[in-house]
Amino acid sequence: MPRAAIGIGSNVGDAAANVRRAFARLGELGDVAARSSLYRSAPWGVTYQDAFVNAAALLDTALAPHALLRELKRIETEEGRVVTYRWGPRVLDLDILAYGDVKVADPDLEIPHPRLHERAFALIPLAQIAPEYAAKCERLPPGERDAVVELAPQ
């Protein structure tokens, strides 16, 4: 069964609770093989909004990449996400960061995520549960790495 790396983020309402609920909801789509800690990070892209809580999960799933994307979007909607503007606030954001060794490049989906290497908020949680990403974290500017702070477990 393929293993997908899923990035999770929230900055609306109880963001930490939203991310924890997302871990549980991912179980609807397969077996959650690993989950990272929760991390607080500054918003990326549009910076005049609340900080985000981010995490990552490894999901063993029988769903093909596009089917997985559809299901992730369904969960986002069911959890209250309203699409506003690019990089805007969100109750829940679920992104496919990687899907085994599969590469996809079409208008609806790019795997691996094309900007993963420049986003500390996604790379740091992912590297915690998938050590093969640790070297990419080391290439991030120190200021970006330091701006992603692990939250105390609850």
List the catalytic residue out of 20, 25, 35, 81.
81
Query: Which token pair is 6?
Result: 């899923």
52 SS3 class: strand
List the catalytic residue out of 93, 101, 115, 139.
93
List the catalytic residue out of 86, 90, 101, 108.
90
Look up 95 and say whether it is catalytic.
yes
Query: Which token pair is 102?
Result: 């599969």
Query: Which token pair is 47?
Result: 């910076």
Look up 81 and say whether it is catalytic.
yes
Angstrom distance (rounded) from CA 53 to CA 44? 12
Look up 14 and say whether it is catalytic.
no
List the catalytic residue out of 3, 21, 74, 95.
95
Angstrom distance (rounded) from CA 98 to CA 100? 6
Angstrom distance (rounded) from CA 130 to CA 59? 12
Look up 90 and say whether it is catalytic.
yes
Catalytic residues: 81, 90, 93, 95
